[in-house]
Chain A
Amino acid sequence: MMSFDVLSQALVNVLQLNVLASILIGAGYGLFIGALPGLTATMATALLVPLTFYMEPLPAIALIVSSTAMAITAGDIPGVLLRIPGTPASAAYTDEAYAMTRRGRASEALSLGFFFSATGGLIGAMVLLVSGPLLARVALNFSSFEFFWLACLGLLTCALVSSPQPAKGGVSLLLGLLVSTVGLDVTTGQPRFTFGSVELSGGVSFIPVMIGMFAMSEILRGFSASAFEMPKLPKGEVFVPYRGMFGLVARYPLSLIRGTTLGSAIGALPGVGGDLAAWIAYGMSRRFSRTPEKFGTGHPEGLIEATSSNNAGLSSAWIPALVFGIPGDAVTAIAVGVLFMKGVAPGPRLFVENPVMPTSIILSFFVANLLLFPLGYLAIKASRRVLSVPRSVIVPMILICCFIGSYAVNNSLFGVGTMIVAGIVGYVMERNQFPIAPVILGLVLGPVLERNFIMSMQISHGNLLGFFQRPVAAALGVLVCSIIVFSVFRALRRKSAKPLSDPVAAEPASKAIIQEGANR
């Protein structure tokens, strides 16, 4: 367990003015980006990274934490008012929320989103606070074999969850890993794929790649799909935030408990992240509800379960990122990259050598989620105004930020060039069902995977059975191999069952949306 000294020192750190200001600014920014359809939480995080260069590690991570939590929560606003999910996670329950709006209960739907998201986030943060140090103690005994398998598990799961076509997820993952090998080799220091370029010798920075793939490609996709044209907002209802929320807690306590438990469990799986939790939670709520016939008609039960699982998953996705150094999704991959840039290496040793740092990061979740209550109040009041900001103003602003953010990485146009290439590649990939998240995860985790792989190969003298000789490594290895065998078997069975002319069109709609979600 973590000591009182560590906890109090971490609390003092989080309550510093610069950290609180970061949390507040991040939340305001996240609210704005999350509320605008087409602009996602990952994109918001990606655009923040250049700013974090000039910040201390804790305020930098607090900025990311609060902007993500708020962006994910604010994603409910366009879902409720326009039936356009602001973020992929909110797509799971957009129809239900919009049905409430049609019945004149938009205020309740918005309040419910913010209230239960914040509650779920707080419970998820508690899970992170309790389980983090315990898992870190276990992970201290891990060798390169265990870390290799954990990295494999994270990458593999992300690739499989992100895409209905495992081959395309695999391609994305390998592209990310390949790009991570550009520059000097992590073990021998030999140059690889540098083509004599000084810039490439330093490797491809994940920041411009990420800005290009998530922000620029998203904007190009918006142009091609005419996604920037907005329907009219509903009029008439007066918004009274949070009215009747405690009554809902009393009426549906099981939904809240089930949602947060599920969200925490799913979010903690390496490579899965929290987006999927909302989908599963909504489905589960309907399955266990006493009144399943009310679902789809503006019934709050499913919303409570899905929104609370959403933010609980967001918090617990930091468990693999902080404890093992293996990010669970694109946002935590970005945050892990930022921590590395700041000279803070996430992993079990961090909990031993500098326990105040991870504890401070976890406490910033509490502050960010607590802030969701008052900021949510303002957001609900201002939601109509946020949605009426013209796209013709926001999109050019974002692109200028992309340009300057990529330039500021090394004060060089090489970053801008990387961003443009990544943006075009990201757009082509996304339009053709190649998920983007595994590319970023591969790029960030590539050096970790390679270092542990080469070290393990050297220890075992090239004998692959050596990867299965330690008990935990063997269990993880068997799990990874089982996932691969199961995926291949399922893909073969699907192909033999129904030869398709268009494999993408044959996927269920929900799965296609999940893939969209995983791309963010």
Chain B
Amino acid sequence: MKLSDRIFGPGLVLLGAGVVLAALRIPDVPGVRFGADLMPAICGCGLALFGVFLTRAGLREAGPLASFDDWRVSPRNLLAALWVVLGLCAGLFLFESLGFPLFGMIFMAGLMVLMGARPLTVALVAPLFVLALHLAFTRIMFVDLPVGPLGTVL
């Protein structure tokens, strides 16, 4: 996914301006001359400045504003990438209810299938690896992972 500097440049100018405005809204502490607003304000100014440079460079560029050519090579890879991003996002909402073992197995098995793994490999590797990881984190490192419906079995 390639985006032109004509997109990044103005975007950075806006981001920089937003950061400077937000920094200016940080209340002063009495007696403190150089406070919490200084560093973010410098970063904001810098981002806006580089945004101007990139906008100038972008205006001299030819070509489209955005190009997704790299994803056209393999639809299967695109599906796998979507599975990764959407699956991980779904994990944010389903992790507590499904628990790590079930979520991990579904996520891993789905990705393995999309990447062309053999069914037998999927059936063996996904559950074994997730369970091994679950046991390592909960029993050895004492991380409190949600177990979900498989809690009665584990």
Q: What is A's interface to B at a CB cutoff of 8 Å? A: 51, 53-54, 165, 167-168, 170-171, 174-175, 177-178, 181, 185, 187-188, 190, 192-193, 216, 219-220, 223-226, 228, 390-393, 395-397, 399-401, 403-404, 407-408, 411, 413, 416-417, 419-420, 424, 427-428, 431-432, 446, 450, 453-454, 457-458, 462, 499-503
Q: Is the CB–CB distance between A500 and B60 below 8 Å?
A: yes
Q: Does chain A have a CB within 8 A of B115? A: yes
Evaluate contact between A424 and B57: CB separation under 8 angstroms: no
Residues from chain A with a CB closer than 8 A to the CB of B71 are 224
Shortest C-beta distance, B47 to chain A (Å), equals: 5
Does the CB pair B60–A395 fall under 8 Å?
A: no
Give the complex CA separation of A171 and B100 in angstroms: 37
- Count of chain B residues with a beta carbon within 8 Å of a chain A beta carbon: 70
- How many whole Å from A267's CB to the nearest CB in chain B? 28
**B36 lies within 8 A of A432 (CB):** no
Given contacts A395-B115, A404-B137, 18 further A-B contacts (CB under 8 A): A165-B57, A167-B54, A181-B40, A181-B43, A187-B35, A226-B73, A390-B121, A396-B112, A397-B125, A403-B104, A408-B137, A408-B141, A416-B88, A457-B33, A457-B38, A500-B60, A501-B61, A502-B62
Q: Given A432-B8, A501-B61, are A226 and B77 neighbors across the interface (CB < 8 Å)?
A: yes
Question: Pick the contact of A224 from B27, B35, B63, B70 — CB < 8 Å?
Answer: B70
CA distance A89 to B36 in the complex (A): 40
Q: Determine if B40 and A178 form an interchain contact, defined as CB atoms under 8 angstroms apart.
A: yes
Closest 6 CB pairs of A and B: A185-B36, A392-B115, A392-B117, A190-B36, A223-B77, A178-B43
B95: A residues at CB distance < 8 A: 407, 413, 416
Q: Judging by beta carbons under 8 Å apart, are B141 and A174 in contact?
A: no
On whether the beta carbons of A395 and B111 are closer than 8 Å, the reply is: yes
Tell me if B19 is interfacial: C-beta within 8 Å of chain A.
Answer: yes
Chain A nearest CB from B81 CB (Å) reads 4
DSSP class of A's interface residues: helix, strand, loop or mixed?
Answer: helix
Residues of B within 8 A of A175 (CB): 47
State whether the Cβ of B1 lies closer than 8 Å to any Cβ in chain A. Answer: yes
Could you tell me the distance between the alpha carbons of A391 and B115 in the complex, rounded to whole angstroms?
8
The smallest C-beta distance from A445 to any residue of chain B, in angstroms, reads: 12
Report 23 cross-chain contacts, Cβ distance below 8 Å, ordered by A residue: A174-B50, A178-B40, A187-B35, A216-B84, A220-B85, A223-B77, A223-B80, A223-B84, A226-B73, A228-B115, A397-B125, A401-B133, A403-B91, A404-B145, A407-B143, A407-B145, A416-B92, A424-B85, A446-B39, A457-B38, A499-B60, A500-B60, A501-B62
Q: Which of A219, A393, A454, A503 has the most CB of B within 10 A?
A: A393
B152 at the A interface (CB under 8 A): no
Decide if B99 is an interface residue (CB 8 Å cutoff): no
- Rounded to whole Å, the gap between the CB of B154 and the closest CB of chain A is 15
**Residue from the list B34, B61, B121 in contact with A454, Cβ < 8 A:** B34
- Which residues from A are CB-within-8-Å of B8? 171, 432
Does B133 lie within 8 Å of A404, measured CB to CB? yes
Interface-central residue, A192, A219, A453, A502, by most chain B CB under 10 Å:
A192
User: Which residue of the partner chain A has the closest CB to B125?
Assistant: A393
Residues of chain A within 8 A of B144, CB atoms compared: 411
Q: How far is the CB of B106 from chain A (nearest CB, A)?
A: 11
A462 contacts which chain B residues (CB < 8 A)? 33-34
Chain A residue nearest to B87 (CB atoms) is A399
